[in-house]
Structure 1
């Protein structure tokens, strides 16, 4: 068959947008949802902070897809790096090394919190967390991981077991793996242990210490420095240094899950830098390549790295350090530096905060706004005084329509995509976003919040 005949055959079998949606719906699983009623948007193009559907409609990507496309869409340097690596070397087994592997490792030493200098590359954040659990257990000789209830760490067997939010429930009892125990999250707006900051003295950290001292066999404490999907919860400034001291005093490792909060999202390269705290293990993904290719990272301290000089490192997989994922990460770091995105995000943070607080003052349905840099949540409540949410996770796994989903559908129709989860919105646009685009996104949300306002209890 000649090239022209191949092109003709390809054109003849080109799918319509309706066929693309139908085939996807009929043959694929939609994640974290009922399959009935799934009608995925057919995306065909993208540029900067926008994605474009099959009808040519442009949407402001106000949550960077899944809080991951920090460079925005179609960054040419990252695209070129993918093409270059494909031409040079598409794959090498993990026991070999590549130039991209060395280049990325060198850059990671420059941008990660100081003291993290031994790396294991994965293909996702959930894989990075799985690696962290195994490394912590091998290093300490202990088993238990203390996680927090309001958390999400991934969907594979170990990481879903360590996930505090109810996405774990459908996997239980087997899904709650051995050696995982849960403590309270730090959430000053709605404290799970009914304390008030700052008079509490960071009681939620004290609670974790109490758990460590009254449980045997604790290997590590696992935290999202800024809780991601479950509400962009930022701890008070005393929390992370106190938790670091507790872990040091009790001989327990501190694992930071920066899958979402890393790579400039908080206005620092990594959120742990907000408190000048270095974890023993840091896991990340998403923004490491701006999600252009799937890459995760598990970074450990020097003392952990030294341990495995004379102890067997019992972990690995086929795609570890896959060269096609590594060179795009090099390009991503270089582009973030060239564009000054960490500094830019830090500067835009107060602008977003001001706009969201103005929004809160207008709408009785907004209970709280919180965040750092370009990582924010707008929390909806039925009653500002009682802080009762419109919906809970039980509603999400039923057929009940969520208030946030109703509003998100309206913003989508107006050309703004933002992630909604149970009772809040996650606002986390690409770090290249302009002030004008931020205003457009917030103004669109403002326009449709009447849906929630009309259902509020105001007495």
Structure 2
């Protein structure tokens, strides 16, 4: 018996036409969009319908920590699909409990419960809700240079332009955090930047009324805002201020958690323990949408006899839970977090430093693990940001040479998967060099 003929492979033009006819894209004016086609991937490489390959140094949205199509994660999802593909969150299912246990194994002592969400935005949403209910207070302090997601309170906690057309939630206060290259505090050293940013935070708390503030919400390292690694003493200082005024500390690890900075959690490098940790992205590299809140035992106990007024139909979805278990297990067994630390230290850091020595348009280099940024400038003396037009040229030059970049404002974020190899980093550095040479 003859089998049915295989469907013809669509062209890139076919895929774009189908997309533009029916898909409404986020954060975009729809009319002029020309999305890049991707139809497959493996490790740090992706490709389109017509055989064009790209080194994925964006990790898509900085979430493919374990690389594309890791066989253990795909196998874990398939195995769970054969057992039970979905279940309501009110039931107990072994794979969900195992996923929570694997996550808390890497959390600080005294944090043993996980509330699962569908992604990072609703993780932050529910962390703020827990903080408000636990403290009986209302306000949330977050930073102007931040991104916490696109749900009601999360987008208002966000500090960038996306907050402004979406400000419908109440009781949010913003402060400036440390940013040594473009200091808001006229500082001339990392220590001074930390000291002055902490003074600004504490004065804001005093002016707002400490008794009205439930939590300080910070990305451990602001990501989309520029890979802004905090200076020594800043994070410990935030913790001390929070404790002084009875305020909870929520650390947003959505982008930086699970290996991105060469640690399981980025805050491990800063001598600080939060009360609530939000996560998503790297916990399973986005193979199935999932996020969550890791909860301190003290806050979890608040809801032992009191109903927590929050929930999601797909909280702890079994396929997502299976992908978490498989991903964390593979990261442990294959030393993927250690690889991220080594690659950052031995290959990305020296490679970017060499580029900065060669190219006057590079004003600053910062990062750790597989989480770096090149800040591009028109003039090193004045630090004038490189124009949007020139950044567009850089992006085009990179894509033309087979590298998929993450571009934000006047920065190239160098954010490959945590499984990236030294050879792939060397190829990427050569491509960055050629693209920047065109400027």
TM-score, length of structure 1 as denominator length? 0.91
> 2:369 maps to what in 1?
373
- 1:194 alignment partner in structure 2: 186
Structure 2 residue 417 is the aligned partner of structure 1 residue 430: yes
Determine which of 167, 170, 177 is the counterpart of 2:165: 170
Which of 71, 79, 83 aligns to 2:78? It is: 83
In structure 2, what is the Cα distance between the partners aligned to 1:218 and 1:226? 22
Shift of 1:50: 0.3
Q: Deviations over 1:359-406 (max 9, x none)?
A: 111111111010011100000111111211124xxxxxxxxx532222
1:46-445 superposed matches below 5 A: 46-171=41-166, 175-197=167-189, 198-200=191-193, 202-216=195-209, 217-351=212-346, 352-391=348-387, 401-445=388-432
Q: Could you tell me which runs of 5 or more consecutive residues in structure 2 were left unpaired when the two chains were aligned.
A: none
- Indicate the residue corresponding to 2:24 in structure 1: 29
Tell me the SS of whatever aligns to 1:334.
helix
CA positional deviation for 1:450: 3.2
| Kept in 2: contact 1:232–1:371 (CA 8 A) | yes
Aligned length: 435
Q: Secondary structure at the match of 2:105?
A: helix
- For the pair 1:45 / 2:32, whether they are aligned, the reply is no
Report deviation, 1:21: 0.8
Given the two structures, how large is their TM-score scaled by the length of structure 2? 0.95
CA contact (8 A) 1:262 1:284 kept: yes
Structure 1 outlier segments of 4+, above 3 Å: 14-17
CA contact under 8 A between 1:113 and 1:273: conserved in structure 2?
no
Query: Matches of 2:60 and 2:194 in 1, distance apart?
Result: 37
Q: 1:397 matched to which residue of 2? A: none
Deviates more, 1:341-350 or 1:323-332: 341-350
Counterpart secondary structure, 2:379: coil
**Partner SS for 2:39:** strand
Structure 1 residue 67: Cα displacement: 0.8
Task: Supply the distance in 2 between the matched residues of 1:114 and 1:194 (Cα, whole angstroms).
Answer: 38
Please tell me whether the aligned partners of residues 91 and 322 of structure 1 are also in contact (alpha carbons under 8 angstroms).
yes
**CA deviation vs aligned residue, 1:178-201 (integer Å, no higher than 9, x gap):** 111100021111112322322355
8 Å CA contact 2:47, 2:54 repeated in 1: yes
Q: Say if 1:114 and 1:278, in contact at 8 Å, map to a contact too.
A: no
* Structure 1 unaligned residues grouped into runs of 5+: 392-400, 453-459
Distance 1:403 1:123 in 2: 37
1:230 Cα deviation after fit? 1.2
RMSD over aligned CA atoms reads: 1.7
